[in-house]
Homo-oligomer: A and B are copies of this chain.
């Protein structure tokens, strides 16, 4: 805590390195297969150290997981609500939100599956996340809701609850990344095809969501 930040470059480098490598390896594996199906020995093997070292740095599998999961879940949720496009027309703002949310998942394509799976399997994990982002989410939602209501009143958007709109956006975005590995396999795509598939779908989702709002 109150110790020196860095003493000798090399040593701290090495130590931080293995600690960091373990964290990153764990993140990758958890995103692929979830908490229960990743073993500590697998993390250690892929990180290139002994199994006990994972415990040395992170004590238990659960604390290691939580650290990764909570940070990711926060990004997932708050990514949906961070909008700094005030002044722009509603449709443009919404389009940007959808695209940002989509891109965030494209950078971590295992995330939507991990979040829903872990929250389904361990509902007690919901509380921590709710506490972390609940406030922020509610206030951002409030602001956006005012905007939506104004659009509806002006007759530019059909009557719809904010919840349904968000649910639609998240469904389209998240399910795409949840199912993407399956499609990729079924259609036997190479990485370039996958990339173009993702980009096309992003466009379609924005179009679909915006179109569905017309009065």
Contacts and interface: CB of A to CB of B under 8 A. Distances in A.
Interface of A: 33, 36-37, 113, 116-117, 119-121, 123, 126, 130, 158, 160, 164, 167-168, 170-172, 174-176, 178-179, 181-182, 185-186, 201, 204, 208-209, 211-214
B186 A130 contact: yes
5 contacts: A117-B117, A119-B181, A160-B204, A164-B201, A171-B175
A148 to B, nearest CB: 15
Contact of A174 (B113, B175, B214): B175
Residue among A33, A160, A208 with most chain B CB within 10 A: A208
Number of copies of this protein chain within its complex: 2
Nearest to A168: B208
Contacts of A170: 175, 179
B121 A117 contact: no
Nearest to A170: B175
A181 B120 contact: yes
Contacts of A186: 126, 130
Contacts of A116: 113, 178-179, 182
B185 A126 contact: yes
A18 to B, nearest CB: 28
A174 to B, nearest CB: 6
Contact of A120 (B113, B164, B168, B171): B113
Given A185-B123, A208-B212, A211-B214, A168 B179 contact: no
A191 to B, nearest CB: 16
A45 to B, nearest CB: 19
Nearest to A208: B212
A119 B179 CA distance: 9
A182 B120 contact: yes
A178 B181 contact: no
Contacts of A214: 211, 214
Nearest to A173: B171
B121 A201 contact: no
